A and B are shown apart, each in its own frame.
Chain A
Amino acid sequence: MIETDIRLLEPGPGLCMDVRVARVTASDDSPDLLWKACGALQGMGLAAVRRPGTSELIVATSRTVLGFDRSGDNWRYDVEDLGKGTRLRYKRPTDRKLLVQLTERLLPMQVQRRTDLWRLGDSRTIWYEREPFVVKDGVAAYRRYEISGQSLGDTGVGIAVNIGTAFLTTWTVADFFAENVDPHEQKRRKRRFDSLSARQQGQKGTLLYDAGESLHKCYFEDFRHGIACATTGAFRVQGQDYDSLLHYYQRRHPEMDVEPDDPVAYVSFGNIDRPQPVAANRLRLRVSNESLPARLRQVDKIPPEQRRSYAEGFWERLGEEPLGPKRPRVAANFWRPKNNRLLWIQAPELAFGDSQILPAPRNASLKERTAHFRERSRILERAGCFAVPLMVTRVVHVAVPKRIGVATGARLAEDLADRLSSWTRKPVRYELVMYEDVADAVSQLRAEPNSGVVVFVIDDSGPEIYYDVAYELRDWRVKRITGDTLVGMFSKLELDAHDSRASGNGKNGRAPSCRHWDSFVEKNALEVLQHMDCVPYLPAEGLNYEAQLAIDVGHDRRYFSLSLLVRRQDSLKPQFRLETVTKSKPDHKQEAINHVILREEIVALF
């Protein structure tokens, strides 16, 4: 029996909700006006959703909806009650989605009323604790609750509350760009801002804008030194002219208490086409997981029992009627699906070289699975790869910046070659290429009679260098490692060696292995092994399907990857194949992959 983070609406499949139907008459047929009308009803305390394919709204109330209208630049709509109530029933399949959507709107309204959690203006379903649970190195970590409703087949409507973590800087943008500090400190702060916002990696920097009564997400564009709220010059917002940003705040947000000398940053909002000036001391930087200080990198890993405790606390704050008075109640416990609805994804039995088999884990316990993964390394070392091409490359080039030093480069190359020789049962040697800059390395490698496999240590984590190396060495199979990672790992190795010598264990002047270094070498060697077209191990028996295809889109949506795993009966050819392709994704504003392109790439994989 497992427990989910979902609570069911009572009485499960018998769920009903009384609603009214309202009609929207709008100046044009664009759907956003219907969503605007839903938002206006929400402001009146009424949850509403659009009835698909119509200009009608389903409103979660049994009382008549009072008619109203709204208008703005180039648009207008009128809302009127159609004079009829109806009852949504979960048993009617066409009503299920509407019930889920209404639930997703009703719950946040109660969260707003009954708790002190806060949210961003453009998201109703994600809420944050008011106070951070930890602050380190200028970054504050906040607990985050993400609400989502779902239809659970014959069981009813469930509400999941996913526990997460959000990171914000304690400093405002004004602090990062402060002008009243010495030039050295100014540069340091700017570097810190760039690092936390991942601007070096091409991100704009996501900001949280405290606009007094509400909080909004926006993106950093520019900080203009010497410009203050009183000196921005005139600008226009929503049809109104203002003499300056200060004038705007005084007229529109007098509660914000903005001073004439407050510095200004330019930011972009999703729904406004030009960057806008805002008070820089009202902006805090959202820190992505990749940019976190080392001391905070683990705090978003929440163990299950703690996760459960947070979710319970969330529901407790909402009381007995989390959707509001006279609304469906929520089950007191988390949903536990019956065993016949559970599917365990088991790690398969694995076949290695020398006909060695690693049995599947005996059960799903963490201990058993950890032991299974450790055993993979041991058997690979003992029995070697399942398959090694006859003409496998016997030389691995290792390109290392001269700055890092021969000793470090040679130790990496030597350990990689040792590992590869052991796994392939072939003598694999290394060629060390010490280089001044990338152009020098490319030139040395191109001078080789044949292209092959190269482990390229890049002394620069900038994405452009990363790409440049891949582009220049298109005929090579390149495994990249950053210089900082290598130096960090080697330092740990030397530190252990020092400790070891101090205790009398060091021998032969060569640093002994340490756990971090070994793990680092092993992981990189496994990837090099793949570049050498070797198969370290494979599922010992056929899987449920002959082929499995994984599709994923990169975090910035500029690339997507397809990975095809084929594992068939031993008598069929090919018995095993793994192929991964990465393609450019031109429509990076969409999460989805264009269906024509996806279809063609999948066909090409076969």
Chain B
Amino acid sequence: MVFEGMEPGVASSRVAAAKPASIPWSYSRRNLLQQCPLSYYFEYYGSKKRTAEAEPRKERLRFLKGLSNRHLRTGEITHLVIRTYLNRLREGEEWSLERLVSWARDMLHADVEFSRAYRPDNPLPSGPKAPALLSEFYYGTADAGHLLGEMEERLVAALTNFVGSPRIEPFRVGALNPGAEVERHFNLKQRRFSVQGMMDLAYPEEGRVVVVDWKTGGVGSPDDVLQLYSYGLEAAARFGCDLSDLALYRVGLADDEVSSFVIGERGAVRAKVRILQDLEAMAELDHYGREGVVAAFTPCGQQRVCAQCKYQQYCPKEEQP
């Protein structure tokens, strides 16, 4: 019976009763969900061994998960080269710009070469030095070579500025501070949630703590501060300082831009609330993902997002109105 067991009266309005605390929050995870719920399903459920066990495309999804694209890959290479540079510098060895650029270029060229020569159904190589299979070549984007060429220029500009720009020099110097931490993974546990991430650079300086986030291109929108704020929460806990003692910087390497941010109490509340709201949305979807109910994950249908998606093979094409 439809109405059986229903209590009479007016029920107080209720908002989502999910339990968000069980899912760790990360910026990349929230970003993917914001961009495209279907892609989020593929990444966090469909391609995982222990969730969505009935997913018929699991093997293929696991393979596609290993794809990269030009934006992700140049970001990875930039971070790897900078991390190596800073760690060597702290040991007293300074690598030249030529060496950094040459290494970065070699990695990108190896990716392009591997991706061009890749034949379907070949397994992907693994290991830290394995080349990446780029989705632009895998999916046959018409001007993939040109797009990669543009990204290579950005990569070189980023490294050139990293080594030579006076705006970025304070951070290179700061990295030599004995208390500095370079690319450290963290898992911050708070009362209501936990945050996972990787801080590019953090160091104490004159009674404050400097936190730096490298971006390969530009600094992006000043409104998009959630990632940096989440690093701020971690840095305050890690270095045992007040939020008001944090100096947050986003460094746009290729565009040679530096933006500074102050988190403050209000910013911290805002960041925590946004994290909680993200987790609420993730928790709403969690049981669908675990059970492999892919239809609960709506494809974004945005061509420019889909063009960069590694799962585009399984994405239904949306019609424009």
A interface, CB within 8 angstroms of B: 30-32, 35, 73-74, 199, 204, 221-222, 266, 271, 273, 275, 387, 389, 462-465, 467-468, 470-471, 477, 530-531, 533-535, 546-547, 558, 566, 568, 572-590, 594-597, 606
Contact = CB atoms under 8 A, between A and B. Distances in A.
B316 interface: no
Interface of B: 2-3, 6-16, 18, 33-34, 37, 141-143, 192, 220-223, 266, 269-270, 272-274, 276-277, 280-282, 284-285, 288, 293, 295-298, 300-304, 317, 319-320
Contacts of B277: 467, 558, 584
Contacts of A534: 9-10
Contact of B9 (A32, A271, A535, A580): A535
Contacts of B270: 462, 464
Contacts of A204: 223
Please list the 10 inter-chain residue pairs (A to B) with the smallest Cβ-Cβ separation, ordered nearest first. Answer: A587-B298, A574-B8, A579-B11, A464-B273, A596-B296, A74-B142, A464-B270, A584-B281, A580-B13, A586-B281
Given A568-B3, A586-B284, A275 B221 contact: yes
A595 B295 contact: yes
A387 B9 CA distance: 8
Contacts of A582: 13-16
B13 A581 contact: yes
B284 A584 contact: yes
A243 B277 CA distance: 43
Given A586-B33, A586-B281, A587-B298, A35 B320 contact: yes
A599 B33 CA distance: 21
11 contacts: A74-B142, A464-B273, A467-B277, A471-B273, A577-B8, A578-B10, A580-B11, A581-B13, A586-B281, A586-B298, A596-B288
B281 A575 contact: no
Given A30-B317, A589-B300, A577 B284 contact: no
A464 B220 CA distance: 23
Nearest to B192: A471
Given A462-B270, A596-B295, 4 more contacts: A273-B304, A580-B14, A590-B298, A590-B300
A467 B320 contact: no
Nearest to B219: A222
Contacts, number: 144
A531 B272 CA distance: 27
Nearest to B307: A273
B269 A468 contact: yes
A142 B155 CA distance: 47
A462 B266 contact: yes
B43 to A, nearest CB: 14
A222 B222 contact: yes
A566 B221 contact: no
Which of A221, A467, A530, A535 is most buried by chain B, counting CB atoms within 10 A of its CB? A467
A574 B7 contact: yes
Contacts of A585: 281
A471 B276 contact: yes
B175 to A, nearest CB: 27
A568 B3 CA distance: 10
Contact of B320 (A31, A222, A266, A583): A31
Nearest to B14: A581
B276 A477 contact: no
B289 to A, nearest CB: 11
A249 B317 CA distance: 36
A575 B8 contact: yes
Contacts of B13: 530, 580-582
Contacts of A389: 9
A530 B284 contact: no
A577 B16 contact: no
A204 B14 CA distance: 29
B22 to A, nearest CB: 15
Contacts of B192: 471
A576 B284 contact: no
A566 B288 CA distance: 29
B198 to A, nearest CB: 24
Contact of A577 (B9, B272, B295): B9
Contacts of B281: 558, 584-586
Nearest to B296: A596
A589 B12 contact: no
A369 to B, nearest CB: 24
Contact of B11 (A462, A467, A468, A533): A533
Contact of B6 (A530, A558, A574, A590): A574
B132 to A, nearest CB: 21
B223 A73 contact: no
B11 A586 contact: no
Contacts of B302: 589
A222 B221 contact: yes
A576 B269 contact: no
Nearest to B294: A596
Contacts of B273: 463-464, 467-468, 471
Contacts of B285: 586
Contacts of A531: 12
Contacts of A535: 9-10
Contacts of B141: 74
Nearest to B71: A273
A467 B37 contact: no
Contacts of A199: 223
B264 to A, nearest CB: 12
